[in-house]
Structure 1
Amino acid sequence: MRHTKIVATLGPASASEATVDALLAAGVDVFRINSSHGTRDDRRRMVDLVRRRAAEAGRIVGVLQDLAGPKIRIGQLADPDGVQLEAGARLRIAVGDFPGDAERVSTTCEPLAAAVRGGETLLIDDGQILLRAVSSDGTEIVAEVEHGGLLTSRKGINAPGVELPLSAVTDVDMDEIEAGVAMGVDFIGVSFVQNADDLRKARAMTWAHGGDGVGLVAKIERPQAIERFDDILAVSDAVMVARGDLGLEIPLERVPRVQKSLTRRARDAGVPVIVATQVFETMRHAPRPTRAEVSDAANAVDDGVDAIMLAGETAAGEYPVLVVQTLDAVLRDAESMQPDRVIPGAIGDRHDRALCDAAVTLAAAAGATSIVAVTGSGATERLLAALRPSIPIHGVTADDAVARQLALHRSVSPLVAAADCLVQGALKPELVRRGIVKAGDAVVIARVHSDLEVEDANFVELQRF
């Protein structure tokens, strides 16, 4: 099996029955739905589409709802074709809502004008246009164009290094969280996280609407999130290194080093980590990735990421299925060179962690073909996945929602079985019946619980079938 998971974004190029079927066959593990695009009805249809086609294919896959967050944008321009900004010209960015032109544009983000000071950098349209702030009176920024270009309506603005007093969870996001919980999404991605409180606010909203089991993915896109990463890790179910905005908020040359550092720290904490943005960007319009893109994906495998995410490549690209097939091949080849290893630092001093450590060590020593973990919440599989074993982890649970969340974790192959099949005497025949194990296989079976008094729990067993 492939250990590193693939997250694919649905959009106009892929949100059809035939394409979703092909993406499932190509190996997508989690489907991402971007709340920044389309209508709520569009997103509801996508969730329903994934559920129906996955059930038909007999696949267990997760759905990740990605919130828009407080993305700062310029307003509408009077000219629908945009305006050309020339180097050396002055551009005023004023708080308000009015048709802009080449001399003055609007933004509805009041804190931006209040926070920016003279000399600070402003980037527009993913860094295609670079401005240098000259002054600000709290309601209007005067900036000089250093690198010009074509400016069109609603382009994003980044102010690298400027901490804005904006919550990562906007009023619009709150409505989207309520809708996402009602749709039954498995994960919610919180954009532009700056601190742990942003996650706590999102968590409170999911709980308020009955989404206690929904996993929260903290998107690391701002330098403040890097500085407070350990605090954010402690309240997140997964993290995403979102290299798009991150590469605008910090110097571009720091992105690879930061990605490696965040991956290591998340991995050691046992928190799944996703790497995203421009993975195979070339394949939006070409049938093959560049050699550099292939090397980037393979290096992410070497670093031990749980998942790699495709965005525009599958949402709006010309080759949504081929790009997944290509990434699958790259990941499998990279994994073929992975040594057997237990990740140091991923295990603490609790008994449940120690038992998982023992399971992985025993499996390696005995040449086991897989580890089977029985779970109610998915916690055992998460601990095992953090150790990065080189063999599959079969996560067996009676809970469909838990199984879908396990689809994100490295090496974990989720399996849903009736509760009466999970007891010790009935588990082994069920594994054989499902084809999970075959005659001659050596398998480690683990049932771990944080409560030592739970009956029929806290054991690790080596079994040859």
Structure 2
Amino acid sequence: MCSSENVSTTKSQCHRMPWIMRLGDEFLPESQLGAAYQTTRMDHEMRLNVNCNPRPGRLTGLMITLGDNNSHPNGIRDIISAGVDMLRINMSHKDEKWHAITVQSIKEAEQSIDKCSTESYPVGITMDLRGPEIRTGIFNGDENNMGYADLKEGNTVRLMIDNTVRRAGAASCFWVSCPELPGLSQIGDRILIDRGTVELIVIGISECYVTCKIVKGGRISNEKIVHLIDTSIDLPQVSEQDDIDIGLALEYECDFLIVSHARDGKMICAVKDRAKQLGLKPICVLGKISTQQGLDCFDDILKVSDGIMVDRTGIEVHIQIEKVFVAQKSIIAKCNRLGKPVIVAFDVKNQECSHGNMSQIANAVLEGADSIHLRTGNLDVMETIQLVKKVDIVCREAESARWQRQLFEELSYKTLIPLDPTHSISVAAVETSMKCNAAAIVVTTTTGRTAMMLSIYRPRCPIIAITRYGIVARWLQIYFGVHPVQYQDSPLSNWCKDMDARIQCAMDYLRREQLINVGDAVVIVSGWRQGGGFTNCIRLVYASPGRIPNRGDDFEESW
């Protein structure tokens, strides 16, 4: 490990090879280097400097939700260009036609970005299943309030199960998608709508409806989620609608499926089995933790999930708000230990984003989140872009403030020995990048496994993952620090020259994105032969001066 005594507390000059000319900016931003490798937590925190600039290039992934106002192709293109890595479509809202149009818009936006380049930077497409949930109907029963209803504290309201009133909701009565509600409810049961926006108490039960008193009033709109806090209900692992939505996600060639309100490991397995039956291509299945039952069965959910999403707003409904941060820290730590990606979700009402939200986002990054999810369905394109820029800065500041010594030691020295070659090389590459204060790690990967392994050990610099496979590049978007690039040039007959060309592509990307300066150290991780599973080479190179080279330029001169 790097010794704290040997780390400069001023500018962090990159080591240079003697033949490299003194051109350009020779310093990387300090990015809290003086604090990163201190031996104790107190020393680390004492050395943090508010005047220190973070490194360029966010390491934490960023996912946003698409809605009516930000889902047209040109808008999506601008959002992706602003730095968004994954786009989420909530299957609980809108219809199948809208979902299909939105997926097509995403693909058109990607093509418009990539058409002038020999490489592609694919974005991950995420479908969030409805899950075993209860929702309100459509509010069209009041001519003055189309699409919503204002429920006033002290009034009463009927929750109807008759499908004939599904699209005729009003402030006095509205439909809910739970036919068993009258039989399951008891006097005094609490019901929350739209994650606590409205709180009801059951005061009467009839055959076709439940009468409730409004304890906490508020405005609710179409198809909002309903939480039965005191009622136990046995919902299917995979509903009929989820079954349809899984088929749509596979048809649209989405990359991630989020299982909402995951209750146990069996539920994740049921979704995986159904996806395997319906599709030829694999898809990553993420478990969303948003209920008390999900927290209680989290270990089982984690074992079978490809990743986890922490739904802070959902958890707040089911446990005391002062316990939410405890649940979040525990979930993130368990995911980090097993090397599975974890996303923390935040509700964002407008592009300003509250100071509290920004602090919570920074804490999630410090705790080890791979990605941040912003629910931005109501924002327009410009508002979404402004929000992304603000969150980008917060993430980069938090990434720089991590206690790197403790983080790397805990992740690397508690792994079981012996490790396989790819795993061993990944640990060594991350340590090398820290020892030489590298500006980036470049990895050529077929399956994506080496890039995932590098991400697990949380380097302080970006991981540029070069792959020929679009599905691998999109899956890698969820991992901390990984910048996936799909290399699209035809393979060369000489494998060594082809490898050099792919590495050159990564160096070009680093220059374009202004992630390296002249003389910066770059760690290269690659295989010794063609195919997956042969990663066992580490090289250390230095960025040369000059312009971004053309494809026809000599490769050696471009370094």
Normalising by structure 2, report the TM-score. 0.73
What's 1:326 paired with? Answer: 390
Q: Say whether residues 1:406 and 2:476 are aligned partners.
A: yes
1:281 matched residue in structure 2: 349
CA distance in 2, matches of 1:152, 1:259: 29
**SS of equivalent residue, structure 2 residue 163:** coil
% identity of equivalent residues: 26
The answer to whether the 8 Å contact 1:199/1:232 transfers is yes
Amino acid of the structure 1 residue aligned with 2:67: G
Deviation of residue 152 (structure 1)? 6.3
Q: SS in structure 2 opposite 1:300?
A: helix
1:444 counterpart (511, 514, 523): 523
> Which residue pairs with 1:342 in the alignment?
408
Deviation at 1:300, TM superposition (A): 1.6
Asked if structure 1 preserves the Cα contact closer than 8 Å seen for 2:66 and 2:377, the reply is no
**Number of equivalent positions:** 457
Contact residue 75 and residue 153 of structure 1 kept, 8 A: yes
Pair 1:143–1:16, CA change in 2 (3 A)? closer
CA distance in 1, matches of 2:491, 2:220: 62
- Amino acid across the alignment from 1:295: S
Per the alignment, do residues 119 and 400 of structure 1 end up closer, same or farther by CA in structure 2, a change over 3 Å counting? same
2:53 match: none
- Name the CA shift for 1:382/1:76 in 2 (closer, same or farther; >3 Å): same
* C-alpha contact 1:114 1:139 (8 A) present in aligned 2: no
Cα distance in 2 for residues equivalent to 1:45 and 1:175: 17
* 1:461 counterpart = 2:541: no
Give the whole-Å Cα distance in 2 for the aligned partners of 1:433 and 1:127: 50
Within 2, Cα distance between the matches of 1:111 and 1:356? 53
Q: Give runs of aligned pairs for residues 301-380 of structure 1, distance below 5 A.
A: 301-312=365-376, 315=379, 319-340=383-404, 341-342=407-408, 344-345=410-411, 348-349=415-416, 350-351=419-420, 352-380=422-450
Tell me the equivalent position of 2:70: 14
Residues 132-189 of structure 1, C-alpha deviation per residue, up to 9 Å, x if partnerless? Answer: 3457689765544433456666443212364431135321121111111111111111
Measure how far apart 1:16 and its partner are.
Answer: 2.0
Residue matched to 2:25: none
- 1:430 matched to 2:497? The reply is no
Contact preservation (8 Å) 1:342, 1:388: yes
Question: 1:3 offset after TM fit, Å?
Answer: 0.2
Match of 1:63 in 2: 125
Q: Which amino acid aligns with 1:325?
A: K
Q: Aligned-pair distance for 1:126? A: 2.6
5 Å matches for 1:5-84? 5-58=61-114, 59-75=121-137, 79-80=141-142, 81=145, 82=149, 84=151
3-state SS of paired residue (1:413):
strand
Distance 1:343 1:311, change over 3 A: farther
Partner of 2:13: none
- Out of 146, 162, 171, the residue aligned to residue 215 of structure 2 is 146
Aligned to 1:127: 196
- Is residue 359–residue 460 contact of structure 1 (8 Å, CA) maintained in 2? no
Letter in 2 for 1:22: D
User: Shift of the alpha carbon at 1:362?
Assistant: 2.5
SS of equivalent residue, structure 2 residue 410: coil
8 Å contact kept, 1:168–1:190: no
Question: Secondary structure of 1:57's partner?
Answer: helix
**2:446/2:467 contact within 8 Å kept:** yes
Change (3 A) 1:138 1:227: farther
Query: How far apart are 1:327 and its partner, in Å?
Result: 1.6
How far apart, CA to CA, are the structure 1 residues paired with 2:532 and 2:395?
A: 40
* CA displacement at 1:122 relative to structure 2: 1.4
With 244-253 and 60-69 compared, the bigger mean Cα shift is at 244-253
Q: Distance in 2 between matches of 1:430 and 1:76?
A: 53
One-letter identity of the residue aligned with 1:397: T
Q: CA deviation at 1:201?
A: 1.4
Letter in 2 for 1:220: I
Distance verdict in 2 for CA 1:114–1:365, change over 3 Å: farther
RMSD: 3.3
**1:193 corresponds to which residue?**
262
C-alpha separation in 2, matches of 1:103 and 1:46: 35
8 Å contact kept, 2:63–2:374: yes
CA pair 63-145 structure 1, distance change in 2 beyond 3 A? same
Partners of 1:375 and 1:411 lie apart in 2 by 15
- Whether 1:160 and 2:224 are equivalent positions in the alignment is no
Are positions 1:204 and 2:273 aligned together?
Answer: yes
Native 8 Å contact 1:84 1:102 kept in 2: yes
Task: Give the 3 Å change call, closer, same or farther, for CA 16–343 of structure 1 in structure 2.
Answer: farther
Q: Distance in 2 between matches of 1:111 and 1:185?
A: 34
Structure 2 SS opposite 1:53: helix
Alpha-carbon distance in 1 for matches of 2:225, 2:459: 41
- Which amino acid in structure 2 is aligned with residue 73 of structure 1? R
- CA separation in 2, counterparts of 1:199 and 1:356? 29
Deviation string for 1:275-297 (max 9, x for gaps)? 1132x4242xxxx3322222122
Using the TM superposition, give the Cα deviation of residue 238 of structure 1 relative to its aligned residue in structure 2, in angstroms. Answer: 1.7
Shift of 1:196: 1.1
Letter in 2 for 1:244: T
> SS of the residue aligned with 2:135?
coil
Structure 2 segments unaligned to the other structure (5+ residues) = 1-56, 115-120, 512-517, 543-559
Q: Which has the higher contact order (CA 8 A, sep 6+)?
A: 2
SS of corresponding position for 1:394: strand
Matched, 1:238 2:307: yes
1:116–1:387 distance in 2 versus 1, CA, 3 Å = farther
Return closer, same or farther for 1:74/1:210 CA change in 2, 3 Å cut-off. closer
> What secondary structure does 2:475 align onto?
helix
- Decide which moves more: 297-306 or 124-133: 124-133
- Relative to structure 1, the CA distance from residue 267 to residue 343 in structure 2 (aligned partners, 3 Å threshold; closer, same or farther) is farther
